[in-house]
Amino acid sequence: MTTPDLNLLLTLDALLAEGSVARAAQRLRLSPSAMSRALARLRETTGDPLLVRAGRGLVPTPRALELREQVSQLVQQAEAVLRPAEQLDLKRLVRTFTLRTSDGFVENFGPALIARLGEEAPGVRLHFVQKLSKDSALLRDGSVDLETGVVGDITSAEVRTRALFEDRFIGVVRAGHRLSEGKVTPARYAAGRHILVSRRGRDSGPMDEALKTLGLEREIVTLVSGFGAALALARASDLIATVPERHTHNLRAGLHSFALPLTTPAITISMLWHPRMDADAAHRWLRECIRQVCAAVN
């Protein structure tokens, strides 16, 4: 099957609009002879004369009249597709963005982010979904617009990333807990009963490795999948939660927090998105809002 020459649509649109080979040629900045050759190709392609002489001018055939509106719309649509994107009108933007994040991110940064979006773009909604793994497939297939978290070894190389902030782990206990008073040493920390946050169900973490280098071991009483659950348990018991500081700022109200007596590396929280969203104006605006909110919230 021969591929049609779509340039002929532009020629046909100009001819039907102008009703003159000379004026159509001038409109498309072609020579009259080039326009005449194009009209001959159109007649051959459509199997219709399209424009026939009537006195000194040309008049459209019934087939040409039938095509005129359709061709005009096709040309306008093609021009719209190739035209640079119009400036984003946030007040008129209606869109739902799906964000995959940890529960701590929603509780700590969600309120400020929602307030910011509500002020700038009231038609925008956020759909937060829980991040249960670091698999990038949901970004790739468009199920998720953006996610936050630590960039890991299994993060797809095609994914775009931008650092939001650094965080560090701290210990958290209920008010009045024995670790809320006095210096917390590695031995005192290890002697307590602990909650381990592990999305993958692992029974140890970086803190256990750090304690092992000191010849210490802690007792892990329970495993949970999120920081909110860990803090809820710590609030109602003598268990010790170890959580990232900035991620859980709002969740730790009324609890006692302390610096870990261990050397642990800081973690970098980033936002991740698929490269096909790079040039999307609304997505760029959302990324900037998230960046600014994370910079402003302690």
Provide the percentage of residues in the chain whose pLDDT is more than 90: 49
90: Cα separation from own chain's centroid: 17
For residue 298, is pLDDT > 90? Answer: no
3-state SS assignment for residue 210: helix
**Domain check: are 146 and 291 in the same one?**
yes
3-state SS assignment for residue 238: coil
Per mean pLDDT, which range of 19-28, 252-261, 286-295 is the poorest? 19-28
Q: Domain tally for the chain?
A: 3
Spatial distance between the Cα atoms of 59 and 72, rounded to a whole number of angstroms = 17
- Mean pLDDT, residues 150-179 taken together: 88
CATH number at residue 241: 3.40.190.10
Give tens-digit pLDDT for 14-26.
888 888 888 888 8
What stretch of H or E contains 129?
strand 124-130
Give tens-digit pLDDT for 215-225.
999 999 999 98
pLDDT for residue 217: 95
Q: Domain of 237?
A: 169-265
pLDDT for residue 239: 97
Task: Give the CA distances from residue 43 to residues 1, 6, 46, 47, 220, in Å, rounded to whole numbers and listed in that order.
Answer: 19, 14, 5, 5, 82
**Domain check: are 282 and 212 in the same one?**
no
The CA-CA-CA angle for residues 124, 125, 129, to 5°, reads: 145
For residue 42, is pLDDT > 70? Answer: yes
CATH number at residue 27: 1.10.10.10
Whether the full predicted model's pTM is greater than 0.85, yes or no, is: no
Question: Is the residue at 40 inside a domain?
Answer: yes
